Amino acid sequence: MKKLNATKMKDWEIAEAAAEDMKTVYQLAEELGLDKMELLPYGHYVGKLDYMTILKRLEGKPRGKYIEVTAITPTPLGEGKTTTSMGLVEGLGKLGKKVIGAIRQPSGGPTFNIKGSAAGGGLAQCIPLTDISLGLTGDIDAITNAHNLAMVALTSRLQHEFNYSDEVLAKKNLKRLNIDPRNIAIGFCIDFCAQALREIIIGNGGQMDGFMMKSGFQITVSSELMAILAVSNDLEDLRNRMGRIVVAYDKSGKPVTTGDLEVDGAMAALMGKAINPNLMQTVEGQPVLVHAGPFANIAVGQSSIIADRLGLKLADYHVTESGFGADIGFEKFWNLKCRFSGLVPNCSVIVATIRALKMHGGGPTVKPGKPLDKAYTEENIGLLEKGIENLIAHIETVKKSGIPAVVCINSFYTDTDNEIKTIKKAVEAASARVAVSSHWQHGGEGALELANAVMEACEEKGNFKFLYEDSDPLRKKVELIAKQVYGADGVSYTADAERKLKSIEADPVLSKMGTCMVKTHLSLSHDPDVKGRPKGWTLPIRDILTYNGAGFVVPVAGTIKLMPGTASDPAYRGIDIDVKTGKVKGLF
């Protein structure tokens, strides 16, 4: 492989240069020991894996070590979970270990907006960058189409029920569902940041142009269908969940599901190929499974259970990624994903940067697209020491699960020895392992200290336990998460949330579902402007949603928009294609 310099090359330039020496997807499949028909190629360098055939063949094979990657509360720039996941995979590969990574597919919204793609960075990337950033094999498109088909079925039924009598509906083989147009549970979706579509009126026109009502769009990766893809154990599980999605309520308040609309089978058919994980590779040629998507608030934000089951059978070490900080991504991994999958991790990696810790210590505001204040690029032990409280909170959260924790100091070239020593001292005092990793700059070679620390942690005997039991009342589950993970003193509910809480607790099915908390990822609290480790506050629950298909209820704290907005200087302004070579440039 040619010499790559992360400090002098942009991510897309590194990805393009690395692609010249990339393994074909056939080589990756051969190295994994796959049979020829278990690989479903999409061109020369990307493929899907026939998970059913592989898992059946390897049914009796022991699973490898299971490693989860999370982070501290991030700056708006992110702290490098995907980059660290890829660096750890490369580091374990450098040590001669058979290793696979699992990450989430980037969303088109951030890719074309401010944050950019989510394939890692520097010399710790998943490649080919163009493929992973621009649609890959169509999983997100499949979710978009399946979600919108549910809305087609719903709006069509509303129009027919409004226009026709029961006798006419019966002749059309339709039963009146008595849908309440003022109580619709979902809208449409599109995988861009399109704030103009958040609130719309549909059905303008004549009698045959649909039922006029309020609606709107959410970004595709926040769809319940994305959560279903992430938590399904197999195709049968996905198909069953597809029929339980609540799309609206009737005039008596009873849920109307995709099964009631008889659209669930067609939705599952649209997602029939998406259930197979995508096979890609790191810059250094280790295999990576890309499956499910981001948006770790509502859509659970985990790489898929199916990808993890495959990775654990195909490798000695499997590294999987959770979205946002440990208060959101790890908490959902711990109490939802592990519960659904039955898989128990051997180790959790908490990614921390000196930049983020200084922000939590009271440093200046960090904004995407704006230069960093010198407080973040020059030594400042005072800010760092104050901000370390946030890291300690996340260490304590992981330790409550009984999973061994390793703190990864995701190293920047501006970090100083004194700053690193300060973090190490605090982490060791909190009884956790700590390693410095320069994978962004040096790839696998820079991640050896981290890889060794992770291997040691994987040999430690854990004592895994969930934070709550399925049988616990919803109020208790919410309170445990708020107090034990976020550090709140208590929980308050709006009148509407309190009404829904009582209704859910009285329902024998809903009351036993998982709890998928929704709050900002930019603070341990519900307020994105409150940094560090907040004390003396109450978590306000303003609403509670039910995701019957995914299998959890969704208490909502604060204001969360399911459709982000596009900024004034979005990434798409710098993305283009070379008309002579067909190569895409400008992705980051």
Catalytic residue among 94, 115, 337, 386, which?
Answer: 115
60-103 pLDDT per residue, tens? 999 999 999 999 999 988 889 999 999 999 999 999 999 999 99
The domain at 474-557 falls in which architecture? Answer: Roll (3.10)
Which amino acid is located at 53 in the chain? T
Please say whether the beta carbons of 299 and 270 come within 8 A: no
For residue 514, the surrounding DSSP H or E stretch is strand 514-515
Q: Is the pLDDT of residue 558 over 90?
A: no
Residues of the chain with CATH 3.10.410.10: 474-557
Question: Over the chain, what is the mean pLDDT?
Answer: 95
Q: Is the pLDDT of residue 2 over 80?
A: no
Share of the chain above pLDDT 70, in %: 99
Catalytic residue among 188, 211, 217, 324, which?
Answer: 324
**Does the pTM exceed 0.75?**
yes
Residues of the chain with CATH 3.40.50.300: 11-136+274-367+375-459
pLDDT recorded at residue 503: 94
pLDDT recorded at residue 114: 86
Q: Which carries the bigger pLDDT value, residue 395 or residue 8?
A: 395
The whole-angstrom separation of Cα 578 and Cα 588 is 16
The whole-angstrom separation of Cα 584 and Cα 131 is 10
Confidence band for 12, pLDDT divided at 50, 70 and 90:
confident
Q: What is the mean pLDDT of residues 14-26?
A: 93
Q: Which carries the bigger pLDDT value, residue 16 or residue 25?
A: 25
Catalytic residue among 48, 65, 81, 332, which?
Answer: 81
pLDDT recorded at residue 299: 76
489-508 pLDDT per residue, tens? 999 999 999 999 999 999 99
Catalytic residue among 185, 227, 268, 296, which?
Answer: 296
The whole-angstrom separation of Cα 184 and Cα 131 is 36
Per-residue tokens: 291:
């499956």
Q: What is the mean pLDDT of residues 378-383?
A: 95
Please indicate whether residue 23 is annotated as part of the active site: no
DSSP per residue over 374-424, as a string? GGGTS--HHHHHHHHHHHHHHHHHHHHTT--EEEEEE--TT--HHHHHHHH
Q: Is the pLDDT of residue 587 over 80?
A: yes
Those residues with Cβ within 8 angstroms of residue 543's Cβ, 6 or more apart along the chain or in another chain: 494, 496, 497, 500, 555, 556
> Phi/psi at 289 (nearest 5 deg)?
-95, 125
Please indicate whether residue 296 is annotated as part of the active site: yes
Catalytic residue among 440, 477, 500, 533, which?
Answer: 440
- Dihedral angle of Cα 142, 556, 500, 252, to the nearest 10 degrees: -40
Please indicate whether residue 57 is annotated as part of the active site: no
The whole-angstrom separation of Cα 260 and Cα 146 is 16
Terminal Cα-to-Cα distance of the chain (whole angstroms):
21
pLDDT recorded at residue 298: 73
The Cβ of residue 152 has, within 10 Å, a number of other Cβ atoms equal to 14
Catalytic residue among 412, 414, 424, 566, which?
Answer: 412
pLDDT recorded at residue 466: 98
pLDDT recorded at residue 294: 86
Please indicate whether residue 412 is annotated as part of the active site: yes
118-135 pLDDT per residue, tens? 899 999 999 999 999 999
Residues of the chain with CATH 3.30.1510.10: 139-265
Q: What is the mean pLDDT of residues 179-186?
A: 95
pLDDT recorded at residue 354: 97
The angle, 0 to 180 degrees and rounded to 10, between the axes of the packed helices 235-242 and 224-231 is: 150
pLDDT recorded at residue 364: 92
Catalytic residue among 82, 83, 144, 546, which?
Answer: 83
297-321 pLDDT per residue, tens? 677 889 999 999 999 999 999 999 9
411-450 pLDDT per residue, tens? 998 999 999 999 999 999 999 999 999 999 999 999 999 9
CATH code for residues 139-265: 3.30.1510.10
The angle, 0 to 180 degrees and rounded to 10, between the axes of the packed helices 81-94 and 448-459 is: 80
Please indicate whether residue 440 is annotated as part of the active site: yes
Please indicate whether residue 552 is annotated as part of the active site: no
Q: Right CATH number for 11-136+274-367+375-459 from 2.40.128.260, 1.10.4160.10, 3.30.300.30, 3.40.50.300?
A: 3.40.50.300
Give the least confident one: 22-26, 340-344, 566-570: 566-570
Q: Is the pLDDT of residue 296 over 70?
A: no
Please say whether the beta carbons of 187 and 199 come within 8 A: no
Please say whether the beta carbons of 360 and 80 come within 8 A: no
Please say whether the beta carbons of 301 and 333 come within 8 A: no
pLDDT recorded at residue 1: 60
187-220 pLDDT per residue, tens? 999 999 999 999 999 999 888 888 899 999 999 9
How many Cα atoms sit within 13 Å of 222 on the Cβ side? 22
Q: What is the mean pLDDT of residues 46-60?
A: 98
325-366 pLDDT per residue, tens? 999 999 999 999 999 999 999 999 999 999 999 999 999 998
Q: Is the pLDDT of residue 369 over 80?
A: no
pLDDT recorded at residue 213: 94
Catalytic residue among 48, 65, 104, 433, which?
Answer: 104
Those residues with Cβ within 8 angstroms of residue 409's Cβ, 6 or more apart along the chain or in another chain: 352, 353, 354, 415, 420, 423, 424, 434, 435, 436, 437
Those residues with Cβ within 8 angstroms of residue 534's Cβ, 6 or more apart along the chain or in another chain: 487, 523, 524, 525
